[in-house]
């Protein structure tokens, strides 16, 4: 009856009460078809002295086991990617916001003050006008420059890490877009399990739900809009392009998650398909300007 | 107001307003009054169920299986007044916070498991628990309740918070609730159902017992 292989035993069966490691592993890995009165069985089996002792042991083991499982799950590389891309976006957004504030402020002191992060950088380097004597303005500029630098570092990290985590996905789009898709889906596995129609509108949730509630057209694309093949296609054919890109990206995500091998033919297939779509004549002209990628 | 609050849950005045409270270490920055800490019904569906006066049958000291524990906001209050409390949550991030609330609660057992797969924790969670509290934001909330029925004692209670938007964002919440109640009937008898609108949009609180 108390046989592990029958999958009807409690977690404590065959475990030395002093062996925390074995206990935590049993909690994580074992299963049972039906629950039973485990506290009573544990006392009967001599695993615990009494019910209170059982619960104390159970708590120690569940806390330790769960802590370990959480650590493992969160250390997964795609999760690191998720945090880095979000941090990058946060840094960029905050730097831009502060740069705007800075320009507003500096403009009151120096009529020739510039705008944007680049101006903040120049100010921080001391290359801008000397009119701005107020040290807090200079200090704010330094903060903006630092944040912008941080965002650049994070982008480098994303560029470096994404191809290791999702080689096909980053080859087919670019590391930043690949990381964004992973972040939006919640992880590589989650992305791999999504249908391509969902991948197509990831990042356009507001528009999608407005559509589902019935008072808006369906969104043609979400974040994959930043993909060259979508942006470089004439607006009239962008829906088709987005569909094609999403289809290939979902396949790439699945290959990355389930096998991890590089499949260069995916890229060629996508290029061919996009070429066909872009060759369609539109009302004006086939508008294929190549869509230079700079954000 | 005549109400049946479980032992260990009280109405206390915080800054002049009467609020539900339990005794324990604060976990989410809630106001405290001595050993008591306020239970915010806006952040807790079970708290809202008590607040709207549903008869949960809770008395205090029960053995509880909590499905969808998230970061432990509600579970921490439950563990304050109940007995052994098994807290199941599938997302890793909130469980990090849940572990912290378990630090000061000796009968709270956190489990990183999927409530849709009871076999993965049936070797840990005991049978015949007195109460199942369920607050999972996934599709198929009735099915989760049915699949976990095996843990519940014959005279036990299911306290279920149904989130309409998790089932289908496009449908009328009332229609979703109707479907959930119908599906639930395969294993439970619904004793009471009440919208929690005042605290949680598009949520239905259900008290049920196994049939």
Q: Cα(B141)–Cα(B161) distance, rounded to whole angstroms?
A: 9
Using only C-alpha atoms, what is the Rg of chain A? Answer: 28
Tens-digit pLDDT profile for residues A220-252: 899 999 998 898 899 889 999 999 999 999 999
Mean pLDDT of the A130-159 span: 88
| The pLDDT value given to residue B140 | 92
Tens-digit pLDDT profile for residues A53-73: 999 999 999 999 999 998 887
Question: What is the percent of chain A where pLDDT is above 90?
Answer: 57
A60 and A102 share one domain: no
Cβ separation B123–A30 shorter than 8 A: yes
Q: Cα(B206)–Cα(A230) distance, rounded to whole angstroms?
A: 48
A145 and A171 share one domain: no
A49 and A83 share one domain: no
Characterize the bridge pairing of strands B9-14 and B188-195.
Answer: unpaired
* Domain C-terminal end among A164, A194, A225: A164
* A vs B: CB pairs below 8 A: 86
Q: Is residue A6 part of a domain?
A: no
A154 and A197 share one domain: no
Cβ separation B111–A67 shorter than 8 A: no
User: In terms of C-beta density within 10 A (0-12 exposed, 13-18 middle, 19 or more buried), how is residue B104 classed?
Assistant: middle
Nearest chain A Cα distance for residue B138, angstroms: 15
H helices of A202-237, in order, are 205-212, 228-231
* Domain C-terminal end among A74, A100, A116: A74
SS3 string of B76-140? HHHHHHCCCEEEEECCHHHHHHHHHHHHCCCCEEEEECCCCCHHHCCCCCCCCEEEEEECCCCCC
More confident position, A12 or B92:
A12
Q: What does residue B189 show for φ and ψ, rounded to 5 degrees? A: -110, 120
Reply yes or no on whether the pLDDT at B69 is more than 50: yes
B201 at A interface, C-beta within 8 A: no
Helix (H) or strand (E) holding B66: strand B64-67
Q: Cα(B183)–Cα(A204) distance, rounded to whole angstroms?
A: 33
Q: Is residue A2 part of a domain?
A: no
The helix/strand/coil state of A61 is helix
How many domains are there within chain A?
A: 3
Cβ separation A66–B93 shorter than 8 A: no
Please state, rounded to an integer, the average pLDDT across all residues of chain A. Answer: 87
Contact list in B for residue A7 (CB cut-off 8 A) is 119
Q: Which domain holds residue A64?
A: 15-74
Question: pLDDT band at B66, cuts 50/70/90?
Answer: very high
Tens-digit pLDDT profile for residues B181-207: 999 999 999 999 999 999 999 999 999
The model's pTM is 0.70
Are B36 and B80 in contact, with CB atoms under 8 Å apart? no
Chain A residues contacting B, CB < 8 Å? 7, 9-11, 26-27, 30-39, 55-56, 58-59, 62-63, 66-67, 69-70, 73-74, 209, 212-214
Q: Is residue A251 part of a domain?
A: yes
Cβ separation B128–A39 shorter than 8 A: no
A200 and A280 share one domain: yes
Question: What is the distance between the terminal CA atoms of chain A, rounded to a whole angstrom?
Answer: 65
| The pLDDT value given to residue B3 | 62
Lowest mean pLDDT among A38-47, A186-195, A282-291, B35-44: A282-291
A173 and A195 share one domain: yes
Question: What is the distance between the terminal CA atoms of chain B, rounded to a whole angstrom?
Answer: 31
CATH T-level fold of B41-210: Rossmann fold (3.40.50)
Distances (CA, A) of A162 to A153, A174, A263: 14, 9, 16
Contact list in B for residue A36 (CB cut-off 8 A) is 126-127
B132: closest CA among B156, B154, B116, B102? Answer: B156
Tens-digit pLDDT profile for residues B154-176: 999 999 999 998 898 888 999 99
A123 and A227 share one domain: no
Q: Which of A4-18, A63-77, B83-97 has the highest mean pLDDT?
A: B83-97
A188 and A220 share one domain: yes
| The pLDDT value given to residue A7 | 66
Q: Is residue A116 part of a domain?
A: yes
Please state, rounded to an integer, the average pLDDT across all residues of chain B. Answer: 93
Distances (CA, A) of B109 to B79, B105, B135: 10, 9, 17
* Domain C-terminal end among A74, A91, A117: A74
Q: Cα(A19)–Cα(A11) distance, rounded to whole angstroms?
A: 13
Q: Cα(B16)–Cα(B29) distance, rounded to whole angstroms?
A: 18
A160 and A256 share one domain: no
Question: What is the percent of chain A where pLDDT is above 70?
Answer: 91
Q: Cα(A287)–Cα(A281) distance, rounded to whole angstroms?
A: 9
And the tokens for A103?
């320009």
B73 annotated to a ligand binding site:
yes
Query: For position A237, which CATH number holds?
Result: 1.10.246.90
A197 and A236 share one domain: yes
| The pLDDT value given to residue B93 | 83
Q: Is residue A133 part of a domain?
A: yes
A188 and A230 share one domain: yes
Reply yes or no on whether the pLDDT at B17 is more than 70: yes
A108 and A170 share one domain: no
């Amino acid at each position: 009856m108390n046989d592990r292989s029958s999958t009807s035993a409690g977690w404590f069966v065959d475990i030395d009460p002093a062996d925390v490691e074995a206990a935590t592993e049993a909690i994580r890995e074992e299963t049972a078809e039906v629950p039973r009165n485990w506290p009573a069985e544990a006392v009967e089996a001599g695993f615990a002295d009494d019910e209170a002792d059982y619960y104390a042991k159970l708590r120690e083991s569940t806390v330790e086991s769960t802590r370990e499982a959480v650590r493992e799950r969160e250390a997964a590389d795609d999760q690191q990617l998720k945090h880095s891309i979000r941090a990058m976006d946060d840094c960029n957004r905050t730097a831009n916001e502060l740069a705007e504030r800075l320009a507003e402020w500096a403009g009151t002191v120096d009529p020739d003050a510039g705008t944007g992060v680049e101006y903040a950088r120049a100010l921080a380097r001391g290359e801008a006008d000397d009119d701005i004597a107020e040290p807090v303005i200079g200090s704010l500029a330094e903060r903006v420059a630092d944040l912008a630098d941080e965002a650049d570092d994070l982008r480098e990290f994303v560029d470096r890490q994404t191809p290791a985590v999702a080689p096909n996905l980053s080859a087919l789009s670019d590391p930043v877009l690949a990381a964004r898709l992973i972040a939006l889906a919640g992880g590589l596995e989650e992305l791999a399990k999504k249908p391509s129609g969902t991948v197509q509108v990831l990042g356009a949730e507001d528009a999608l739900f407005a559509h589902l509630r019935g008072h808006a057209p369906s969104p043609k694309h979400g974040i994959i809009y930043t993909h060259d093949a979508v942006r470089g296609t004439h607006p009239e054919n962008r829906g088709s392009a987005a569909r094609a890109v999403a289809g290939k990206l979902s396949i790439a995500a699945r290959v990355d998650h389930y096998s991890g091998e590089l499949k260069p033919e995916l890229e060629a297939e996508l290029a061919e398909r996009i070429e066909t779509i872009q060759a369609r004549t539109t009302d004006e002209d086939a508008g294929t300007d190549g869509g230079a990628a700079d954000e | 107001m005549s109400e049946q609050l479980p032992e260990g849950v009280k109405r206390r005045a915080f800054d002049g307003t009467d609020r539900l409270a339990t005794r324990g270490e604060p976990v989410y920055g809630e106001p405290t009054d001595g050993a008591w800490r306020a239970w915010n019904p806006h952040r807790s569906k079970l708290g809202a169920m008590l607040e709207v006066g549903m008869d949960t049958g809770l008395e205090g000291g029960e053995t509880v299986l909590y499905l969808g524990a998230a970061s432990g906001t509600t579970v921490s209050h439950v563990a304050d007044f109940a007995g052994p409390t098994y807290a199941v949550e599938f997302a890793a991030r909130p469980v990090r916070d849940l572990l912290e609330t378990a630090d000061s609660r000796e009968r709270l057992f956190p489990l990183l498991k999927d409530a849709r797969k009871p076999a993965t924790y049936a070797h840990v969670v005991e049978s015949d628990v007195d109460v199942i509290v369920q607050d999972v934001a996934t599709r198929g909330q009735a099915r989760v309740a049915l699949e976990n029925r095996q843990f519940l004692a014959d005279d036990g209670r299911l306290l279920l918070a149904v989130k309409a938007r998790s089932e289908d964002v496009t449908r009328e919440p009332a229609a979703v609730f109707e479907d959930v109640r119908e599906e639930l009937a395969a294993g439970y008898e619904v004793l009471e159902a009440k919208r929690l609108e005042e605290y949680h949009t598009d949520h239905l609180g259900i008290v049920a017992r196994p049939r």
